[in-house]
Amino acid sequence: MQRQSELDLTGKVVLITGASRGIGRQAARGFARRGAKLVLAARTVTPGGALPGTVAETLAQIEELGAEGLAVPTDLADEDALGSLVEAAVQRFGGVDVLVNNAAATAGDFWSTRFLDLTRADWLYQFAVNVHAPFTLMQLVTPIMAARGGGRILNVTTGSGEVFRLPEEPPKLEKVGDFSLAVPGYYASKRALDRLGNVLAPELAQLNIAVIGLMPGLVATEIVELRARESGLDTSVAVPMTVPARMLTYFAACAEPMEYTGRLFWAQRELEALALDPDDASAVGV
């Protein structure tokens, strides 16, 4: 990869799902520093749950940075809620320029449920959030982006064969450090999202819309920290949230996104290869 110059995102409308915490919140802050307008979607609207963070708190943080935003409580498993989310973005800001499909079904008993004990309902829920919601949102924003001259769709995914750039699929890792990776529904649905982006990329490129997949790696999000505390695990194997967040701002701002469309990238490797500063979310024209 050759590092591209980064365009000004001032005034661009960025819709981020899963924005109440984790990578979504970190990315929202990065986009806010670049002057983007943020549409923040998440299911958590009131504090007091097992995990910190609400969509309203993220909105307050990006407003403190001088950005304009809109918080939209959204259940991604609800098709009607997805339509209302995009409609709210259009009504408030006139459209969408960047869609970040960041949200995923990561909380619940199914995360630690082995294959033979996994219920069909839990399996289908993970696909509803991790694949069907991005599919619907991509369908909804594509004509909007096309009418605005193009756009970017950034899918936050997980470990996949293509990301390692090997001729054959490597064996699936059962764990990283002491963190279990034996979560069938999560990995299967995210792999489906990878392939969806790859298949859609040529068609959407004709509309000047790039579709880029980002594998963040094991990231030190709130939910990872919670599982570490509960299980006595070591989080030293986890990367900071600033790493994938910086790659998201890069892909949203890079001057020639079609070089990357339809492909899947590994955040930490690409950030190092491009010599990007994970703490510099406001770099423009570099």
Q: Taking a C-beta distance cutoff of 8 angstroms, is the pair 58, 71 a contact?
A: yes
Range 146-160 average pLDDT: 91
pLDDT (0 to 100) of residue 220: 56
Architecture field, domain 13-273: 3-Layer(aba) Sandwich (3.40)
> Which is more confident, 216 or 114?
216
Range of weakest confidence among 11-20, 108-117, 200-209: 108-117
How far from the centroid of its chain's Cα atoms is residue 142's Cα? 17
Of 252, 177, 250, 175, the closest CA to residue 211 belongs to 252
pLDDT per residue as tens digits for the range 22-74: 889 999 999 999 999 999 999 766 555 556 668 999 999 999 999 999 999 99
* 76 pLDDT more than 70: yes
End-to-end CA distance of the chain: 15
Mean pLDDT, the chain, rounded, equals 86
Confidence check: pLDDT of 244 > 60: yes
Cα gap 131→234, rounded to integer Å: 30
Q: What is the pLDDT of residue 286?
A: 37
- pLDDT for residue 159: 67
pLDDT the model gives residue 168:
60
For range 165-186, the mean pLDDT: 65
| Amino acid at site 27 | A
- Kindly report, residue by residue over 252-271, the tens digit of the pLDDT: 999 999 999 999 999 999 99
Q: Is the CB of residue 94 less than 8 Å from the CB of residue 12?
A: no
Q: Can you give the pLDDT at residue 238?
A: 72
Q: Which one has a higher pLDDT value, 190 or 7?
A: 7
For the chain, which residues make up each domain, given as ranges?
13-273
| The dihedral sign for the CA sequence 238, 243, 245, 248 | negative
Asked if pLDDT for residue 160 goes beyond 70, the answer is no
Q: According to the model, what pLDDT value does residue 179 have?
A: 58
SS (H, E, C) the chain: CCCCCECCCCCCEEEEECCCCHHHHHHHHHHHHCCCEEEEEECCCCCCCCCCCCHHHHHHHHHHCCCCEEEEECCCCCHHHHHHHHHHHHHHHCCCCEEEECCCCCCCHHHHCCHHHCCHHHHHHHHHHHHHHHHHHHHHHHHHHHHCCCEEEEEECCCCHHHHCCCCCCCCCCEECCEECCCHHHHHHHHHHHHHHHHHHHHHHCCCEEEEEEECCCECCHHHHHHHHHHCCCHHHCECCHHHHHHHHHHHHECCHHHCCCCEEEHHHHHHHCCCCCCCCCCCCC
Reported as a single tens digit per residue, the pLDDT across 176-231 is 665 566 678 888 898 999 999 999 999 999 999 999 999 987 765 656 666 666 55
Amino acid 201: pLDDT: 97
